[in-house]
Every structure is written in C-alpha cells, then in structure tokens.
Structure 1
C-alpha cells in the first residue's frame, strides 16, 4: 500500500519527535532504530523510507530539540528578569527529573563526542543558545561559562543516587550563577 506525501511527512515527523524524546531521555546509543520504530508501531524497514541513516535522524532530532526545548526551559529569554528566570527553570528539579522534555545538551554532548560523530546540528544548537545568553551578558565568555555550568550541574544532578546531593548540586550552581549575574549587573547592565 502506497501512502500519500502528507501521510509520509506526518510519519517522518512522528519519528523525529519520538527520537528527540528518547535521545534526551536515554541517549543516542541506547536508542536503536528498531526500538524507536517499534514504539511507534512501525516497521524497522520502514525507517529507511524516511531517513538514509540513523545519523540523518540524529541531525533532524537535534534540530527539532532546539525548537521544542521550551517544554521545560524557555527557548527565548524574555520577561523582566530573563536570565535569572532561565537559570531558575533550567536548574529546576522538574528539568532534572524530566530529561525527555528538556535540553538535549546534558544527554548527548558527551555521547556524540565519544562516538567521534559530533554533528553540525549540535554546533548550530550550541551557538544559538550561546547567542541567546550572550544578549543578556556583557562578555561572550560569560555566556560560555553560564551554559557550561548549567549543563554540567544538570548532568551531575542526574548522575547521583542521593536526592539531597542532587538537590544540593542544583542549588549550588543556581546560587553561584545568580551571584555572578548580580555582580555583573552591578558593573554593567545585563
């Protein structure tokens, strides 16, 4: 049975969305094409009617994650106190506990680097986020520092078994970043 182009496009989008969720929650290596397609009640062979390889899917899922990240952390930094609000939300227990809906960097950055298969989409995503942060900071190095601290703290908080230690990691990173912003805003407007 042949499907029309609209059906094919919707199916492709479903695959991308499910992959994005699984890549954030489980990682790229732990998400096999077979498992992914089975979860969508599609055939493993049908995957190749939509993508030439898993690498193509990785690129598409990373791009999608950039658009969909607002589920837990805001995509744009707007409001009265955009950067402090972003930091509060990023280093929240909700974001820690729901990786499938959050930022992709904590889950896939190290994994893609270890595979020797970093993707241009990762660079694009990182540069876009640094650009957003940089709009609210006086120095571009500060954007790198803030993002690195956010991602690192989230990774560590997810990687420990003790809930109190996990909360402490989030609290300490949040406090340090907010203090940094306060110090920077005293010297220059954020």
Structure 2
C-alpha cells in the first residue's frame, strides 16, 4: 500500500498533538509510549521512525503544547480577564487543552530536565499579564514585573491544587479565592 507523500509528516503531527494532550492531562511519566501509539492506531515500533526517544518526544510535544496555547491567547486581555479565564472551571477540567505549565513544569523539574520552551511559555505569560495591567498604576516597571511573577505563580499553583483535589467544592474554593485575591492585588496598587 502506497502512502501519500506527506503521510509521515501527518503521522508525526498526530503523535505530537496526542502526546501534548496526554502529557498535559496525565503527566509525562504516566504517559506510556505503547498506549500513546495504540490510541492513534499505530505500533509502538513505529514510534522510533519519528522520534529518537521519549525525551525527544517530550521536548517536541512541549513545543506543540506551547504553540497551541499561544494560538488560543492571541488577543491581549486585561489582566483581570486573563486571571478569570486561567482560573476557570473549564480550564481546570480540561488540562489536555490548556496551559502546559501546571502539569509539565513540575514534572520536568523533578526529572532534572528543565526546558527552554518552559522559559518561553513563562516569559510569554508574564508579558501578557504585564500588558494587561490597568493603566495609570502608581508602580514602577519592576514592581509590575514582580507582581506578574507572583500572579503567574499563583495561577499555575491554584490550577495544580484544584486539579489534584477530590472534593469539587474545595477545588472551586481554591480557584475562586485565588482569582478574587489576585484581582484585588491588581486593584490595590
């Protein structure tokens, strides 16, 4: 059976998209290559025609997840709106479609494999938050940058905690309280 000329490239993209979703939803360590390939109707052996190793896939899937997140977040948002969207029940419930930081950053750190792509995602998120801060604030650029680091850390931490709880009321409380407190911090300064 002959395949189309771009069959290998299309298969490569399918693997990347599925891995990016699974890594964000289940974590890197919990995502096995065999179940990943089986979910796509492919063989485990075929994996190595596309990637050198799982680490190679992790880096490329992280790039894919980062690019997917960037495509969703094109328009600049006020910081309050960004916070509300990030801490939404929808984002919390669908990690496979969301920001890769809550799931993947801690695992990459634990594996001793920090990534430049993680740095890019963090810098992009900080820039969006800074650009969305209300005008007329009586703060220095450095204070705004520091606040955005605190906001971003709180966002990622709150989503991670909310996703890890069994009690839906507790998850909701984590998201709502963090959202309210961050919005209050923006308004205070």
Question: Where on the TM-score scale, by shorter chain, does this alignment land: which range?
Answer: 0.7 to 0.9
Q: Which residue of 1 aligns with 2:96?
A: 100
Structure 1 residue 5 displacement after superposition: 4.3
Match of 1:123 among 119, 135, 143: 119
Matched, 1:155 2:160: yes
In the alignment of these two chains, the number of paired residues is: 180
Report the more deviating stretch, 96-105 or 131-140: 131-140
State TM-score, norm by structure 2. Answer: 0.88
The answer to whether the Cα contact below 8 Å between 1:69 and 1:103 also exists between their aligned partners in 2 is: yes
Separation of aligned partners in 1, 2:16 and 2:150: 31
Q: Which residue of 2 aligns with 1:187?
A: none
- Runs of at least 5 residues in structure 2 that lack an aligned partner in the other structure: 134-140
Question: Superposition pairs for residues 1-190 of structure 1, below 5 Å?
Answer: 3-69=3-69, 74-79=72-77, 82-137=78-133, 138=141, 139-184=144-189
The answer to whether the Cα contact below 8 Å between 2:76 and 2:132 also exists between their aligned partners in 1 is: no
The answer to whether the Cα contact below 8 Å between 1:76 and 1:132 also exists between their aligned partners in 2 is: no
Computed over aligned residues only, the root mean square deviation of the Cα atoms, in angstroms, reads: 1.8
State TM-score, norm by structure 1. Answer: 0.87
Structure 1 residue 134 displacement after superposition: 2.5
Structure 1 residue 76 displacement after superposition: 3.2
Runs of 4+ in 1 over 4 A off after TM superposition: 1-5
- Runs of at least 5 residues in structure 1 that lack an aligned partner in the other structure: 185-190
- Deviation track 1:132-188 (CA, whole Å, cap 9, x = no partner) reads 22223442111211110000011111111111111110011000111111123xxxx
